[in-house]
């Protein structure tokens, strides 16, 4: 605003704000109406000159883990910082908010793991399924680790329903990288009486390394959980056939479950895994197969 006042008078600026030609985003910060509606502009304007970081759903959007929802932007300042917001801005307070800041596109933002846990604590800002998906994506893209998520979760005593995100964090640490894999582990692979399996087990064949979704080492059985979006194309199906054939040359048999069957008939999927596992054990031990 100081630069603008070198060209026009204060009364002119007040008139422009009153008539809508300019929008006041904060003390000493003005913007054209078209730009004022951009949430990134609001973050830059309202955090200017203060020790505050973009947080919650605004930070998720900056990290490209979710779309920014309609409504206000969210900033977090330290416990002694100003808690006053401006129209379209919600200000939170937290210890070490400024000291633990990161930078995205030149803007101060909370760390990914802090952002994910903050958002999980506020289902009124983002539905829990979307918050879970953001955590999975963050780990898959290596923006943070399951261990870092667990540390932040342990620090946040306000988070309701802690068991569910803690369980998800454990599965992410084990190697799950999608909602479907987490669901499959909970409802199929890790049910009572199921064989022990490890996730993301590498197998190298002919110089190529493949990751088995879930591997039963004892029977050399690989279980793959195929999402409709990632395994629905003809090219992906052909790639899966080639992959399964190659890992078979290393002694691994692959059992695949699509999204609809895995989620719609988990009991049948468990029976299939147990039947193939038992048959593989007989084969590997040299027992008669009848």
DSSP structure string for 40-106: HHHHHHHHTTSSEEE-HHHHHHHTTSSPPPSS-EEEEE-TTS-----TTEEEEE-TTTTTT-EEETT
CA 180 to chain centre: 14
Among 165-174, 189-198, 212-221, 261-270, the least confident range: 165-174
- Kindly tell me if the per-residue pLDDT of 196 is higher than 90: yes
Q: Are 63 and 115 in contact (CB under 8 A)?
A: yes
Last residue of a domain, one of 174, 208, 236: 174
Q: In the predicted model, what is the mean pLDDT of residues 178-197? A: 92
Please say if the pLDDT value at position 20 is more than 70: no
Mean pLDDT of 124-131: 90
> pLDDT confidence of 165, banded at 50, 70, 90?
confident
Q: Are residues 208 and 162 in the same domain?
A: no
Tell me: pLDDT of 255 over 90: yes
- pLDDT score at 12: 73
- pLDDT > 80? residue 158: no
Q: Are residues 169 and 48 in the same domain?
A: yes
Asked which of 25-34, 147-156, 238-247 is least confident by mean pLDDT, the reply is 25-34
Same domain, 23 and 71: no
Instruction: Count how many Cα atoms sit within 13 Å of the Cα of residue 193 in the half-sphere of its side chain.
Output: 8
pTM score, whole prediction: 0.76
Q: Higher-confidence residue: 99 or 46?
A: 99
The pLDDT > 90 percentage for the chain reads 55
Distinct helix (H) and strand (E) counts, the chain: 14, 11
Angle (deg, nearest 10), helices 163-174 and 146-155:
160
Domain assignment present for residue 55? The answer is yes
Are 48 and 151 in the same domain? Answer: yes
Contact 54, 62 (CB under 8 A): yes
Within a domain: 290:
no
pLDDT at 13: 59
Q: Determine the pLDDT at residue 22.
A: 61
Residue 253's pLDDT band, with cuts at 50, 70 and 90, is: very high
Find out whether 178 and 167 touch, Cβ atoms under 8 Å.
no
How far apart CA 212 and CA 209 sit, in angstroms, is 10
Same domain, residue pair 183 and 129: no
Out of 143, 174, 205, a domain closes at 174
pLDDT at 55 > cutoff 90: yes
Report the distance separating Cα 194 and Cα 278, nearest Å. 11
**Same domain as 51, residue 25:** no
If you average pLDDT over each of 77-86, 188-197, 226-235, which comes out highest?
A: 188-197
| CATH number of the domain where residue 215 is located | 3.40.960.10
Q: Is 233 helix (H, G, I), strand (E, B) or coil?
A: coil
Confidence of residue 23 (pLDDT cuts 50, 70, 90): low
Q: Considering 119, 145, 174, which residue would you say is the last residue of a domain?
A: 174
In terms of domains, do 84 and 8 share one? no
Mean of all residue pLDDT scores within the chain: 86
- Residue 236 banded pLDDT, cuts 50, 70, 90: confident
Q: Are residues 146 and 216 in the same domain?
A: no
Distances (CA, A) of 183 to 102, 177, 186: 32, 11, 5
Q: Which of 232 and 172 is assigned the larger pLDDT? A: 172
Domains in the chain, number: 3
Find the domain containing 98 and state its range.
38-174
CA 102 to chain centre: 17
The answer to whether residues 13 and 111 belong to one domain is no
233 with 170, same domain: the answer is no
Report in angstroms the alpha-carbon separations of 214 from 83, 133, 227, 245, 273: 48, 20, 15, 17, 11
Q: Is residue 52 part of a domain?
A: yes
Tell how far CA 51 is from the center of its chain. Answer: 26
């Amino acid at each position: 605003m100081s630069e603008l006042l070198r060209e026009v008078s204060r009364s002119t600026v007040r008139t422009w704000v009153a008539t809508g030609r300019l929008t006041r985003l904060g003390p000493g910060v003005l913007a054209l109406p078209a730009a004022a509606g951009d949430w990134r502009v609001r973050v830059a304007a309202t955090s200017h000159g203060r020790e505050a970081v973009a947080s919650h759903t605004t930070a998720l959007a900056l990290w490209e883990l979710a779309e920014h929802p309609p409504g206000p932007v969210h900033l977090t300042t330290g416990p002694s910082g100003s808690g006053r917001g401006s129209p379209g801005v919600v200000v939170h307070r937290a210890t070490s908010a400024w000291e633990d800041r990161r930078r995205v596109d030149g803007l101060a933002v909370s760390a990914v793991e802090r952002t994910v846990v903050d958002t999980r604590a506020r289902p009124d800002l983002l539905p829990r399924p979307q918050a879970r998906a953001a955590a999975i994506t963050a780990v898959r893209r290596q923006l943070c680790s399951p261990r870092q998520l667990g540390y932040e979760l342990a620090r946040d005593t306000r988070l309701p329903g802690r068991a569910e995100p803690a369980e998800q964090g454990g599965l992410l640490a084990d190697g799950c990288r999608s909602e479907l894999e987490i669901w499959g582990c909970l409802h199929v692979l890790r049910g009572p009486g199921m064989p022990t399996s490890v996730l993301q087990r590498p197998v190298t064949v002919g110089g190529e390394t493949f990751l088995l979704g879930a591997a039963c080492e004892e029977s050399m059985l690989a279980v793959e959980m195929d999402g409709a979006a990632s395994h629905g194309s003809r090219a992906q199906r052909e790639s899966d056939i080639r992959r399964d054939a190659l890992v078979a040359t290393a002694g691994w048999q692959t059992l695949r479950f699509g999204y609809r069957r895995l989620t719609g008939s988990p009991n049948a999927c468990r029976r299939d895994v147990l039947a193939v596992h038992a048959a593989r054990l007989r084969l590997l031990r040299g027992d008669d197969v009848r």
